[in-house]
Amino acid sequence: MSLQIGARDARQKFSELLGRVGFGGEEIVIERSGKPMAVLIPVELYEQVIAEREARFEVIRRIQDKQPDLTPERVEADVEAMIRQVRAGRAARGD
């Protein structure tokens, strides 16, 4: 579970929070008035998220190239449906 901290406290403890994230690998949710506004995450996790996002966009681009009449939203919905289907199959097999 990640640490949750108010924006005011985060400002006061910014250096400490950077250390906890950068060296300890923690994830910290910064809130304003109890509402999550931002997350501090390790650079490695950020890079992984960006790479995964780019990989998904590449899949969508390849599908669009083969099916130019489909909207990006339709392609994305189809890809998400297939991902859910694959994950459900893995869960059923115990992978």
Q: What is the pLDDT of residues 4-26, one digit of tens each?
A: 999 999 999 999 999 999 999 99
Q: How confident is the model at residue 69 (pLDDT cuts 50, 70, 90)?
A: confident
Task: Look at the block and give the residue holding tokens 């130019």.
Answer: 68
Ramachandran angles phi, psi of 8, nearest 5°: -60, -50
pLDDT at 68 exceeding the cut of 80: no
Of 85, 45, 86, 78, nearest to 59 (Cα)? 78
Q: What is the mean pLDDT of the chain?
A: 90
CATH superfamily for 3-41 is YefM-like domain (3.40.1620.10)
Q: How confident is the model at residue 89 (pLDDT cuts 50, 70, 90)?
A: confident
Q: 44 in helix, strand or coil?
A: helix
Give me the residue spans of the domains in the chain. 3-41, 45-93
Q: How confident is the model at residue 1 (pLDDT cuts 50, 70, 90)?
A: low
